[in-house]
Structure 1
Amino acid sequence: MTSAACYRGEAFWIREPGQGDIRPVNIDRTGVADAGDVVVETLFSAVSRGTESLVFHGAVPESEYQRMRCPFQEGAFPFPVKYGYANVGRVIEGPDDWRNELVFCLYPHQTCFRVPGSAVQRLPRNVPPERAVLAANMETAVNALWDASPRVGDRIAVIGCGVVGSLVAWLASRIPGTRVQAIDPNPDRRDTLAALGVSWSAQADGPDDHDLVVHASGQPEGLQVALSLAGVEGRIVEMSWYGDQAVPLTLGGAFHSRRLSLVSSQVGRISGFQAPRWNHGERLALALRLLAAPELDALINSQGAFHDLPESLARVAAPDSGVLCHRVRY
């Protein structure tokens, strides 16, 4: 602690492609409660592997620099930048009704921080903080299903079973009567999806009769597979974000004769179907409630200490790392 009016903390910054470091930060604690702010001591954060890998490797296109900013980002793309949005901690200062509350915040990897009280969400009592780091991923999956509008009995394929794809498949499988197939070439996904109660395939080898196909692999060829699986009047929801990578797509063949619909889904904007009635805070609160299911712990398959993040993020962000969610301990 530097003084009675200030906490000393540390934050992780990406300073250049594939390189990060830990930097000191001072947190002003004057007038916290009067301002309606809270000071949070971080317990856990998580690496959102898809997006954070693109940021870590400097693959954010210049056209997306503003849209890709996260809520409490510091610095600017491409570098140096403090980036992240999966933080779980305990309120150590703030209004009386916030003190000692466990909260989730869309905040980068940092040991301690001050934000407005409106920026944090209390954890439900039945959601442990270790699992709550999945909240941002769950929120993305919820928004995707709002965009997809699955129906009772739908035949659904999910291509790409990272954390978000697996969560989409898990949520879809809980809709009565659905047939859900999760497709990912990584054989390690079999046990993870089995823990979620979802059927896994290494490749798309089933009928092309799907009512709904969700693509979340991040690989351009996966989107072409998604088109091939959709039945007549089928819907394809594209969740992958490719950064500065070009995506070739063949729209000949049956694309037009089957009258397929290709829809984008991105968590920064609430699905148009729900936006008149839901705001971002309500959607995040829903995501946190859904994390009460203990089987979701299977999605966290890597863990390390905060001070190891400069080295561990390089490993996690490697294309062949096999990491789903990397949880950071503080």
Structure 2
Amino acid sequence: MDRAARAFWLRSPGHGEIRDVALQEPAAEDVLVRTLCSGISRGTETLVFRGGVPQSQHDAMRAPFQEGDFPGPVKYGYLNVGIVEQGPPQLLGRTVFCLYPHQTRYVVPASAVTVVPDSVPASRAVLAGTVETAVNALWDAAPMLGDRIAVVGAGMVGAGVAALLARYPAVRVQLVDADPARASVAEALGVEFALPQDAAGDCDLVVHASATEEGLARSLELLALEGTVLELSWYGDRRVSLPLGEAFHSRRLVVRSSQVGTVSPARGSRRTYADRLALALDLLADPAFDALVTGECAFDELPQVLPRLASGELPGLCHRVRYENVADPA
């Protein structure tokens, strides 16, 4: 039986469209998923939308179920929550998370979906990829009891890291951002907020996620002797400069990268990608994470909404996409 669905495609940088797509008939080991909601990863997806993926990173930046190639046409995205409509009995009717683009229905191997715990609403489960990134970052950073920590950049990933650090005992955590409006996000997550000029220094660890040169420079300034900046920002095709003169060497500072594409070496021998994602979904039982979703639109509105997200006209953190009442092609 022929099946069809609708998907959002980036036709060319800055221009998106909804396309009809054909679905293959699910094999015995596949699932057919009807999407309930998806999430726009504001940093990465808006960079893709602007055509900012460097040629050298085209392969590294491919999403698991991406179609097409950068800079476009390309179907890109990786925060999708839906209901299994066809598949193995143990998955039938279950709510699942999948690293799939914005599409009304899709067919993937059953091994590609993760069951969403009953304690996590589908509307919050779209944050699973963000929280998974935060989990991996903290496996890399290995914060210790009593540490003084700043998270510079209160976007999706930075706020997710701060939310997890709020659970650590006896740590001082500040969420630092140039936008005073992000203070309400920090309050909802249970951490302190500071503007960059007011942030507390002498930090053992600074997690940088602002994707700005100024934020990274300020992160270095906030470190104590022999402190570490864990860099989570991805700058795409932009170059950044750093003040690596002055006291950088005498203070024995460290700048270390972290990226979710690889399970942290600190856990890689004992945890799989599936383990990490399942942990992220379990953590999303905490309703505090709802503060990371700051906007919504209908699926059919994506071609008009993504340019506004990419330009900054629509500010905020995670933008959730709703799929109710979306009709598939006949």
Q: Normalising to structure 2: TM-score of the pair? A: 0.96
Do the aligned partners of 1:183 and 1:204 also contact (CA within 8 Å) in 2?
Answer: no
- Distance in 1, Cα, partners of 2:237 & 2:312: 16
Query: Cα deviation per residue 1:106-135 (whole Å; 9 max; x = unaligned)?
Result: 000000000001100000110000000000
Q: CA deviation at 1:320?
A: 5.1
Q: CA deviation at 1:208?
A: 2.9
- Distance in 1, Cα, partners of 2:92 & 2:210: 40
- Give the 5 Å matches for 1:222-241: 222-241=215-234
- Give the 5 Å matches for 1:69-148: 69-148=62-141
1:296 maps to 289
1:281 maps to 274
Do the aligned partners of 1:9 and 1:26 also contact (CA within 8 Å) in 2?
Answer: yes
1:154 maps to 147
In the alignment, does 2:162 pair up with 1:166? no
- What secondary structure does 2:135 align onto? helix
Q: CA deviation at 1:310?
A: 0.5
Amino acid at match of 1:314: P
1:26 maps to 22
- Distance in 2, Cα, partners of 1:54 & 1:40: 27
2:327 maps to none
Amino acid at match of 1:97: Q
1:6 maps to 2
- Distance in 2, Cα, partners of 1:67 & 1:116: 22
Amino acid at match of 1:195: A
Amino acid at match of 2:63: C
- Distance in 1, Cα, partners of 2:274 & 2:225: 37
User: Could you tell me which of 287, 300, 307 is aligned with 1:307?
Assistant: 300
Do the aligned partners of 1:126 and 1:292 also contact (CA within 8 Å) in 2?
Answer: yes
- Distance in 2, Cα, partners of 1:89 & 1:29: 18
- What secondary structure does 1:188 align onto? helix
1:177 maps to 170
Do the aligned partners of 2:162 and 2:191 also contact (CA within 8 Å) in 1?
Answer: yes
- Distance in 1, Cα, partners of 2:199 & 2:94: 48
- Distance in 1, Cα, partners of 2:70 & 2:205: 35
Structure 1: runs of 5 or more not aligned: none
Amino acid at match of 2:47: L
Q: Residues 81, 254 of structure 1: CA spacing in aligned structure 2 closer, same or farther, 3 A cutoff?
A: same
Q: What number of residue pairs does the alignment pair up?
A: 323
- Give the 5 Å matches for 1:249-260: 249-260=242-253
Structure 1 range deviating more: 253-262 or 280-289: 253-262
1:57 maps to 50
Do the aligned partners of 1:158 and 1:165 also contact (CA within 8 Å) in 2?
Answer: yes
Q: Residues 89, 207 of structure 1: CA spacing in aligned structure 2 closer, same or farther, 3 A cutoff?
A: closer
Amino acid at match of 2:295: S
Q: CA deviation at 1:206?
A: 4.0
- Distance in 1, Cα, partners of 2:97 & 2:22: 21
Q: Residues 206, 25 of structure 1: CA spacing in aligned structure 2 closer, same or farther, 3 A cutoff?
A: closer
Q: Residues 327, 207 of structure 1: CA spacing in aligned structure 2 closer, same or farther, 3 A cutoff?
A: closer
1:45 maps to 38
Query: Cα deviation per residue 1:23-43 (whole Å; 9 max; x = unaligned)?
Result: 00111225x3x2x11000000
- Distance in 1, Cα, partners of 2:186 & 2:200: 21
- Distance in 1, Cα, partners of 2:181 & 2:30: 43
Do the aligned partners of 1:169 and 1:180 also contact (CA within 8 Å) in 2?
Answer: yes
Q: CA deviation at 1:156?
A: 0.1
Q: Normalising to structure 1: TM-score of the pair? A: 0.96
Q: Percent identity?
A: 54
- What secondary structure does 1:317 align onto? helix
Q: CA deviation at 1:205?
A: 2.5
- Distance in 1, Cα, partners of 2:199 & 2:180: 18
Amino acid at match of 1:298: A
Runs of 4+ in structure 1 over 3 Å off: none
Cα-Cα RMSD: 1.0
Query: Cα deviation per residue 1:208-240 (whole Å; 9 max; x = unaligned)?
Result: 310000000011111111111110110110000
